[in-house]
Chain A
Amino acid sequence: MQNPFHLCIVDDDDIYRFTIIQSAKFSKIEHMTSVFPNGEEAINYIKKNQDTPDALPNLILLDIDMPIMDGFQFLKAYKEIETKLSKKIAIYMVSSSVDPEDIEKAKGYTSVIDYLSKPLKSDKLKAIIERTLEG
């Protein structure tokens, strides 16, 4: 594998980010991690690297509730640039919200593969990474 698996975490909660990074480590799958505390920083990064497949993540774990730009605002912005991207990115929404409205809304975005509730257990994370790797 030329490029390791690129996991991207978009979440303002540093504890959560810490737990995901730890869980990813436990999966024993070779990977790299990028972290953004809000949607704005994440979308800016993607826009900047839209023509550089190597820099783009394979998987984004997207939180809903974030300052500056929340998960849905990110998805809206992402939808506009999705076709220009040189790489297909798997997006999972991961939130502590159990509001059915949020879940419905998330599933309304074609770019979102699934909606997952926090906490995201290690084995679940491993399964997602593996599934993404398989394509």
Chain B
Amino acid sequence: MNMKNDKKTMDDTSAITIRDMLRIGTWNLNIETGIYTLDRVTCEVLGIPYNTVVKRGGNSPYSKSDTTASLIEDGIKKLLKTGKPFDQELEFKTPEGAVIWLHVIATRKLENGKCTAIAGIVQDITQSKQTQEIILQDNQLLKFAEHKAKLGHWNWDASSDTLICSENMTYIVGVPTDAPVPLSVLIDKVHPEDREFVRKQIAHNIKTKHYHSFTHRMVMPDGRIRIIQVSGDAILDDEGNLTNILGISQDVTSYKTIEAELTKKNELLIFAEQKALLGHWELNTITNEVFWSANLYYLFKQEENIKLEFNTYFECVHPEDQAEVKDHFAQAIEQKYFDKIIHRILLKDGTLKWIRLLGDVEVDEKGNTVKLAGTCQDITEQQLQEIKFKGLVDSAPSATIIVGNESIIQMVNKQGESLLGYSSEELVGKSIETLIPSRFDEIRATHREKFLTNMEVTIVNLGEDFYLKHKSGKEIPVEITLGPLQTDEGLIISMSVRDLTSAKIAEGKILKAKEDLEILTEELTAQNHQLADFTQITSHNLRAPVSNLNSLVEIYKMMGSEEERNDLFKKFETVISHLSLTLNTLIEALSAKSHNSLERSVLSFSNKLSKTKEIFSTEIERTKAIIKSDFSAVDSIRYNRIYMESIFQNLIGNALKYKSPERVPEIEITSKLENGKIVLSFKDNGLGIDLEKHGHKIFGLNKVFHNHPEAKGIGLFMTKTQIEAMGGKITVTSKVNEGSTFNVYFI
């Protein structure tokens, strides 16, 4: 195309140039006067009146650019000086303001070696100059355009099978600029995988003498892959032989990329539409007209363009769901609110699908329903997933509750139903709070916050036993594991509930067993103490008299006189009576220890005290003892009568027996409650006992700590034995010469 333009332009330019060539003016410049002499043509060209006097360096009716002025000045100086002819194309402006280009040629005239004048011709080249400018501009534009579009053009010569390529193309392809390039060299520049294709295309084009466009890939010198579109014109000679192909190679990579992206996006759109399995519908409730979007026809496997009515849809509804769907629509029309509904459809070909309908109700100005409109989505897959999920939840080994937004129960499995006594229908849609005793509200708040922050599977640990409420109101001990699941519909929490009832029972059993063991241990420890007591008793209280008997027998054998033997018999008697007493005491103690279930009755401390006072009346009178008592805190106790009397008699008896010879005996008996247990105190002002020395054996059998004639060391041993047999204990505090206090702790 450009070549054709060039040719035309050239033709036009030549015609004009030839015509103008006739208008050559002459001029000369007198160096001495500086006056220009211009002929008629020159004046015409410059657009000035003939005979206009133009002076060198002075004002002229025409104007010239600064470039022109300096070119003239420099050129003339040079000419004058060196004789080099002046030859310039100069720009002038006529008095009328037209821009003209003049080709000015000048030579100097020498007279006697001195330059006197300059003579020259002037030619109007405005037209040709303008053409030239246009060509130049066109060329530049072409280059620019080529560059911009990565476009190159080429001319294939059939006889040599070579191409001459435009500059830009040589640059793109990387071949020499000015020489013909063999086709094979260019083909080598094509992407290796496309070379065979390009060869075939070119061969085909040459054969058919008609150029079909094609694209191929090309690896650029920088390694990038570009897509090149090649198009051209086959040029035939008069005989119809192919001589040349003029062609254009264009980098269409960016177009291709955009095209590819568009295609991809379109595909995605189609894919998304298909994937969503979504359509929309309208039902005019007055005219019963129905509209379905194209996708709905597809979903319902209906031929497009069939006449639609409500029944078209309704007939597809699964028979078991028809009543519900019918009610739903009736309700929507009446209540002017279309709730979401999920139901099955059964298509003619037997396909079963799950459909979710969402809708809006349109009302007229009177508030009557006129139109229902909404979407219809095939959710078979989700529904099957949900059924599968529900199946999984149902088959979970522990009771599971699925809780959704705002603590609303979404699902309860069979185990959950049987644990909590509710049916699934009763619980779904209700708040989980229904199941949780309100006393946990406060403690749960912090736990819930922590769970929602961490969002991890957590075993609920409120620091105390947790319970859920059974439908009957009974509380069930449980352990709950929470599992969070973020879904499109918000946070879903799975609650796995473990019934701890049996664990609690087992725990109770273990605790009971532990308590039993503790009691047993206590008993064994007590028995151990008693055993230690008996060891003590056997060694000191039984072995001693027995060894005495042995020694006496030995001595008896050695003794000669009857008199000595008679004396010895008295010793035997003493030992035997001592031994009998010890044995009797032991038997009494043993019987106390072996009678854990002693008979108990309600006894009064004050009553026992007066009875004891009666027994010791002689002694009290003799010693003038003062006996005070305070049983205001507690006066009655369930206890064994004989033992209680023994406690009073022994402790008061001791207090009287071990009175200080320097003081009138004072005995104070009080009762009090300590930690709910009755404590009875016997305080005296008697001799006192050095507990550092004797504390460890004060309640031992046959222990005496006083050089007192009546000390036998039996009373306290028996008292302690009896108190312990009843499950209590006795302690003593004492100071020598100040008195003693015995505290009896009852159970």
**Do the two shown chains form a genuine complex with each other?**
yes
Which A residues contact B (CB, under 8 angstroms)? 13, 15-16, 18-19, 22-23, 26, 37-38, 65, 67-69, 73, 96-99, 117-122
In the complex the two chains form, is A19's CB within 8 Å of B552's CB? yes
Q: Which of A15, A67, A73 contacts B552 (CB 8 A)?
A: A15
- Nearest CB of A to B711, in Å: 7
In the complex the two chains form, is B539's CB within 8 Å of A98's CB? yes
- Nearest CB of A to B23, in Å: 156
In the complex the two chains form, is B547's CB within 8 Å of A96's CB? yes
Other than the given A15-B545, A16-B547, A119-B554, 7 more pairs (CB < 8 A) read A15-B575, A16-B544, A16-B551, A19-B555, A67-B704, A67-B711, A96-B539
- Nearest CB of B to A74, in Å: 11
- 26 A-B interface contacts by CB (under 8 A): A15-B548, A15-B574, A16-B548, A16-B551, A19-B551, A19-B554, A19-B555, A22-B558, A23-B554, A26-B558, A37-B707, A65-B544, A67-B706, A67-B711, A68-B706, A96-B539, A96-B543, A96-B544, A97-B539, A97-B543, A98-B539, A98-B543, A119-B554, A121-B554, A122-B554, A122-B558
In the complex the two chains form, is B540's CB within 8 Å of A120's CB? no
Nearest 7 pairs between A and B by C-beta? A19-B551, A118-B547, A119-B547, A96-B543, A96-B544, A119-B551, A119-B550
- Is B451 part of the contact surface with A, judged by Cβ < 8 Å? no
- Is B693 part of the contact surface with A, judged by Cβ < 8 Å? yes
In the complex the two chains form, is B693's CB within 8 Å of A69's CB? yes
In the complex the two chains form, is B540's CB within 8 Å of A97's CB? yes
In the complex the two chains form, is B711's CB within 8 Å of A13's CB? no
- Chain A residue nearest to B544 (CB atoms) is A96
- Nearest CB of B to A59, in Å: 18
In the complex the two chains form, is A23's CB within 8 Å of B551's CB? yes
- Nearest CB of B to A3, in Å: 27
- Chain A residue nearest to B713 (CB atoms) is A67
Q: Quick one: given A13-B544, A67-B707, are A99 and B539 in contact (CB under 8 Å)?
A: yes
Within 681-732 of B, Cβ neighbours of A (below 8 Å) are at: 693, 703-707, 711
In the complex the two chains form, is A23's CB within 8 Å of B555's CB? yes
How many Å lie between the Cα of A85 and that of B279 in the bound state? 122
Contacts of A68 in B (CB 8 A): 705-707
Which B residues contact A (CB, under 8 angstroms)? 535-536, 539-540, 543-548, 550-552, 554-555, 558-559, 571, 574-575, 693, 703-707, 711
- Nearest CB of B to A47, in Å: 17
Contacts of A65 in B (CB 8 A): 540, 544
Contacts of B704 in A (CB 8 A): 67
How many Å lie between the Cα of A4 and that of B536 in the bound state? 38
Contacts of B535 in A (CB 8 A): 99
How many Å lie between the Cα of A121 and that of B704 in the bound state? 27
- Chain B residue nearest to A117 (CB atoms) is B547
Contacts of B575 in A (CB 8 A): 15
- Chain A residue nearest to B705 (CB atoms) is A67
How many Å lie between the Cα of A65 and that of B538 in the bound state? 13
How many Å lie between the Cα of A67 and that of B544 in the bound state? 15
In the complex the two chains form, is B548's CB within 8 Å of A119's CB? yes
In the complex the two chains form, is A15's CB within 8 Å of B571's CB? yes
Q: Which of B550, B551, B575 has the most CB of A within 10 A?
A: B551
How many Å lie between the Cα of A22 and that of B556 in the bound state? 10
Contacts of B703 in A (CB 8 A): 67
Contacts of A118 in B (CB 8 A): 543-544, 547-548, 551
In the complex the two chains form, is B543's CB within 8 Å of A18's CB? no
Contacts of A121 in B (CB 8 A): 551, 554
Q: Quick one: given A68-B707, A122-B558, are A19 and B548 in contact (CB under 8 Å)?
A: yes
- Nearest CB of A to B378, in Å: 93
Contacts of B707 in A (CB 8 A): 37-38, 67-68
Contacts of B543 in A (CB 8 A): 96-98, 118
How many Å lie between the Cα of A97 and that of B697 in the bound state? 15
Contacts of A22 in B (CB 8 A): 555, 558-559
How many Å lie between the Cα of A57 and that of B154 in the bound state? 149
How many Å lie between the Cα of A96 and that of B571 in the bound state? 18
Contacts of A97 in B (CB 8 A): 539-540, 543
How many Å lie between the Cα of A99 and that of B534 in the bound state? 12
- Nearest CB of A to B705, in Å: 6
How many Å lie between the Cα of A99 and that of B543 in the bound state? 12
- Nearest CB of B to A40, in Å: 9
Q: Which of B535, B547, B571 has the most CB of A within 10 A?
A: B547
- Chain A residue nearest to B564 (CB atoms) is A22
How many Å lie between the Cα of A73 and that of B692 in the bound state? 11
How many Å lie between the Cα of A13 and that of B582 in the bound state? 14
- Chain A residue nearest to B542 (CB atoms) is A96
- Nearest CB of A to B14, in Å: 148
- Chain A residue nearest to B711 (CB atoms) is A67
How many Å lie between the Cα of A108 and that of B199 in the bound state? 121
Q: Which of A98, A99, A120 contacts B551 (CB 8 A)?
A: A120
Q: Which of A15, A118, A120, A122 has the most CB of B within 10 A?
A: A15
How many Å lie between the Cα of A11 and that of B690 in the bound state? 20
In the complex the two chains form, is B539's CB within 8 Å of A13's CB? no
Q: Which of B550, B554, B574, B575 has the most CB of A within 10 A?
A: B554
- Chain B residue nearest to A120 (CB atoms) is B551
- Nearest CB of A to B680, in Å: 27
Contacts of A73 in B (CB 8 A): 693
In the complex the two chains form, is B540's CB within 8 Å of A18's CB? no
- Chain B residue nearest to A18 (CB atoms) is B571
Contacts of B559 in A (CB 8 A): 22
Contacts of A15 in B (CB 8 A): 545, 548, 551-552, 571, 574-575
Q: Which of B555, B705, B706 has the most CB of A within 10 A?
A: B555
Contacts of A69 in B (CB 8 A): 693
- Nearest CB of A to B31, in Å: 155
- Chain B residue nearest to A11 (CB atoms) is B544
Contacts of A120 in B (CB 8 A): 551
How many Å lie between the Cα of A61 and that of B241 in the bound state? 157
Contacts of B571 in A (CB 8 A): 15, 18
Contacts of A18 in B (CB 8 A): 571
Contacts of B546 in A (CB 8 A): 96
Q: Which of A23, A26, A67, A96 contacts B540 (CB 8 A)?
A: A96
- Nearest CB of A to B380, in Å: 89
Contacts of B693 in A (CB 8 A): 69, 73
How many Å lie between the Cα of A68 and that of B552 in the bound state? 27
- Chain B residue nearest to A19 (CB atoms) is B551
Contacts of A38 in B (CB 8 A): 707
- Chain A residue nearest to B708 (CB atoms) is A67
Contacts of B574 in A (CB 8 A): 15
- Nearest CB of A to B217, in Å: 107
Contacts of A98 in B (CB 8 A): 539, 543
How many Å lie between the Cα of A67 and that of B690 in the bound state? 11
Q: Which of A16, A119, A120 has the most CB of B within 10 A?
A: A119
- Chain B residue nearest to A97 (CB atoms) is B539
How many Å lie between the Cα of A97 and that of B545 in the bound state? 12
How many Å lie between the Cα of A122 and that of B540 in the bound state? 21
Contacts of B706 in A (CB 8 A): 67-68
How many Å lie between the Cα of A69 and that of B706 in the bound state? 10
- Chain B residue nearest to A26 (CB atoms) is B558
- Nearest CB of A to B531, in Å: 12
Contacts of A19 in B (CB 8 A): 548, 551-552, 554-555
How many Å lie between the Cα of A16 and that of B284 in the bound state? 128
- Chain B residue nearest to A121 (CB atoms) is B554
- Nearest CB of A to B655, in Å: 19
Contacts of B536 in A (CB 8 A): 99
- Chain B residue nearest to A73 (CB atoms) is B693
How many Å lie between the Cα of A68 and that of B692 in the bound state? 11
- Nearest CB of A to B565, in Å: 12
